[in-house]
Structure 1
Amino acid sequence: MTSALRSLRRRILTPADSQTSSAVRGFNEKTPESTELLETVGKMFLRGYAYAVECGVPAEAEENLEQLPDRFRGFAYEGAGMGFAMRDGLPGGRHDFVERFVQGRGGDHIYMVYVGVGWAMARLPRFRWPLVDVKDPLLRWLVLDGYGFHQAYFKTKKYVHQQYREAAFPWPSDGPRWYADRCIDQGIGRAMWFVAGTDPDLVGDMIDAFPEDRHGDLWSGAGLAITYAGGVTEQEILQFKERAGVHLAQVAQASTFAVTARVESGTLVPHSDLAAKILTGVPGQQAAAVSAASRPTPPYDKEEVPSYEVWRTTIARQLVPVDLDTVEESGQAGKGGQR
């Protein structure tokens, strides 16, 4: 494909930067600094997306992605994950871009790449989903996190303010439907950090408006966002921790995943390290080590509770043992309320 055709594909498929504007989205603008940060995150996501839809092979996109600042590179990889998944799901050509991407440098950002795949699923017709394949049976649940984030970010009134939940979510076809709901809620909670403009109290107020059995996963998503994206002072992180209350274990686990994603990709920044230390009780590198030591081994998902959830609960048990009963009750809430 010629460079002219690649540029045309980029212009056709890539949304405008204005779509990440807090004013356009109607999101809270806490301070000019926090607004600028979140809008930069969105622009970096779209840059990574554009690199993916324009490139000939994933290695070309990687060269550009690796030039981006540490703080924002993961978001660009997330955008590239969406871009490659869109290419896999659209008619024509080959359908292994995501697989090839995570076999290269994208594998170091696999958490973010799989979340990006969820963005693509939110935009592709559902009959195209089988072409958007993810090979890791443990981390595939992150795709639903990305789906939930996309829906809450672009359909905020419906998914956040009206607390909408989809009926009989069809993916993955071999996974428990009750757990798909929970992973989508984690993505919605993560998006709330952007909707609230990084205001800890506003995030808490929005979560409080949801049914109680959804609170744990929503706090988990917000905990991942405050650690990975930031936009707050040390005092605000402490404020967030206090507001999480009985859901601190879920927050600590999600913070661990956030800092693990940064450690494994070589993009650990001071803010993420500080947030992890406050929310998990240990420095970022140590939290990542807890995640690695707790990671399940194959075969996965042979029991009623997915291995991914067993992993999350194991991390939470180690980091916040005083909240162990709360973790277990929250983990079963969605299960007990199956459709």
Structure 2
Amino acid sequence: MPTVFGALRSLMMTPSMAEVGFRRRGFPPAPADVTRRLEAIPQAVICGFEWGIDVRELWELERRLELVDPEQRGFAYEGATMACTVRDAMAGGRGRRTEALLRGPGRRHIFLAYIGIGFAMARLPRPLWARVLPDLPDVPYHPTMSWLAVDGLGFDRAYFDTPRWVDGQRRPKPYPWDGHPEYFARAWDQGVGRALWFIHGGQVPAVAAAVGRFATDRHADLWSGVGLAATFAGGCGAADLAALRRHAGPYAADLAQGAVFAAKARTWAGAVPPHSEVAVHTLAGVDATAAAQLADDVVVDPFPAAAQPHYETWRGRVRDRLAVAPSARPS
């Protein structure tokens, strides 16, 4: 049952279904079927957030989330993790709802859950960010993959404040996430790249032109985000994906790396939709299973500390493997 406090928190922090719609956000028009498909993703996030804010017991939240269609379930977990993070922060950092969710069924959706943490960060004061990441020492890919929280933060700001972060191409202030403030803006740009896929409705020429308007030193991370979104969310067919790869030009390996991480996330969640198979094959030259195995073959042990984030080392290894593998050159 929803609580009065939960309803108030929801009203204060959650966009409405209408507010995430492309028309309300002022995004350029796209074919109706693509718009419906892509709009369903932030709508699923909102559903997960509202459930996560309202329900008293974690088992009820988990039950609701497991009723969501498998293709959309990860997005609902994304929103639920956002809600749990907000609730933990409002408990003075003593809450453990996020940790409990991600040790349970949310473990299969850990990649999108990190993004949900980033969505929460967008609505929390910066001093609270130091305590938003739960302690998950027994969860694979943690904390290496936690940079997806910064990716989620960049996506959120690009999606909801497009004039500043996309049109104005503002760069975020550094923040010492995982001890690497110098990498913060790069992870942020990976999220901005994902947002460009949604902002332009998966229309390849428009997405490519949007990336091209940013400073050149940002292109690699933006293209990586585009590849992740195109593969995980879908929105176009093989011919358009092949055109996307051509548009990426010298950043085709970055595009492919994003596709591999999307395939890894889909495979880990146990549901790989046909559009993800088509995308990872077209962009990276491997099927989803092979992409997931490739990512695991070069994954970085999170200890000890290094000059750059283990996450970036992992991304670099994926790019290098795709650059030399014959199978990474689609016909």
Task: Tell me, yes or no, if the aligned pair for 2:10 and 2:53 is still in contact at 8 Å.
Answer: no
What letter matches 1:158 in structure 2? R
What letter matches 1:247 in structure 2? Y
Of 253-262 and 89-98, deviating more is 89-98
* Matched position secondary structure for 1:299: coil
Alpha-carbon offset, residue 164 of structure 1 = 0.3
Aligned residue for 1:8? 7
What letter matches 1:106 in structure 2? G
Please, which of 159, 163, 181 is the counterpart of residue 157 of structure 1?
Answer: 163
Task: List gaps (5 residues or longer) in structure 2.
Answer: 136-141, 327-331
Distance 1:315 1:77 in 2: 26
What letter matches 2:98 in structure 1? V
Which string of whole-angstrom CA distances, capped at 9 and with x for unpartnered residues, describes residues 49-96 of structure 1? 111111223332111111111221111111111111111122468422
* Matched position secondary structure for 2:122: helix
Which string of whole-angstrom CA distances, capped at 9 and with x for unpartnered residues, describes residues 11-65 of structure 1? 5343211111111101122200011111111111101111111122333211111
What letter matches 1:311 in structure 2? W
Aligned residue for 1:19? 19
Q: TM-score scaled by structure 1?
A: 0.89
Aligned residue for 2:89? 89
Task: List gaps (5 residues or longer) in structure 1.
Answer: 324-339
Task: Rate the CA distance shift 1:95–1:131 in 2: closer, same or farther, 3 A.
Answer: farther
Distance 1:119 1:91 in 2: 18
Distance 2:233 2:302 in 1: 31
What letter matches 2:322 in structure 1? L
Q: 1:199 and 2:198 equivalent?
A: no
1:210-225 aligned at under 5 Å gives the runs 210-225=214-229
Aligned residue for 1:337? none
% identity of equivalent residues:
36
Aligned residue for 2:291? 287
Distance 2:153 2:232 in 1: 18
Aligned residue for 1:320? 323
Of 109-118 and 174-183, deviating more is 174-183
Task: Tell me, yes or no, if the aligned pair for 2:79 and 2:116 is still in contact at 8 Å.
Answer: yes
Please, which of 233, 239, 250 is the counterpart of residue 246 of structure 1?
Answer: 250
Aligned residue for 2:124? 124
Distance 2:92 2:309 in 1: 34
Which string of whole-angstrom CA distances, capped at 9 and with x for unpartnered residues, describes residues 247-268 of structure 1? 1111111101101111111121
Distance 2:5 2:278 in 1: 41
Distance 2:152 2:16 in 1: 20
Which string of whole-angstrom CA distances, capped at 9 and with x for unpartnered residues, describes residues 174-231 of structure 1? 5222211100000000000011111111111111111101000000001000000011
Q: TM-score scaled by structure 2?
A: 0.92
Q: CA RMSD in A?
A: 1.8
Alpha-carbon offset, residue 10 of structure 1 = 6.4
Task: Tell me, yes or no, if the aligned pair for 2:115 and 2:148 is still in contact at 8 Å.
Answer: yes
Paired residues, what number? 319
Distance 1:3 1:92 in 2: 22
Task: Tell me, yes or no, if the aligned pair for 1:142 and 1:183 is still in contact at 8 Å.
Answer: yes
Task: Tell me, yes or no, if the aligned pair for 1:226 and 1:275 is still in contact at 8 Å.
Answer: yes
Of 283-292 and 62-71, deviating more is 62-71
Task: Tell me, yes or no, if the aligned pair for 1:88 and 1:131 is still in contact at 8 Å.
Answer: no
What letter matches 1:156 in structure 2? T
Of 5-14 and 87-96, deviating more is 5-14
Distance 2:246 2:93 in 1: 51
Task: Tell me, yes or no, if the aligned pair for 1:70 and 1:269 is still in contact at 8 Å.
Answer: no
Task: Rate the CA distance shift 1:64–1:253 in 2: closer, same or farther, 3 A.
Answer: same
Distance 2:299 2:87 in 1: 31
What letter matches 1:309 in structure 2? E
What letter matches 2:7 in structure 1? L
Distance 1:75 1:171 in 2: 27
Distance 1:54 1:161 in 2: 35
Distance 1:317 1:130 in 2: 33
Distance 1:71 1:184 in 2: 25
Task: Rate the CA distance shift 1:124–1:112 in 2: closer, same or farther, 3 A.
Answer: same
Alpha-carbon offset, residue 140 of structure 1 = 1.6
Aligned residue for 2:268? 264
* Matched position secondary structure for 2:85: helix
Alpha-carbon offset, residue 297 of structure 1 = 1.7
- Structure 1 runs, 4 residues or longer, greater than 4 Å off: 91-94
Q: 1:139 and 2:145 equivalent?
A: yes
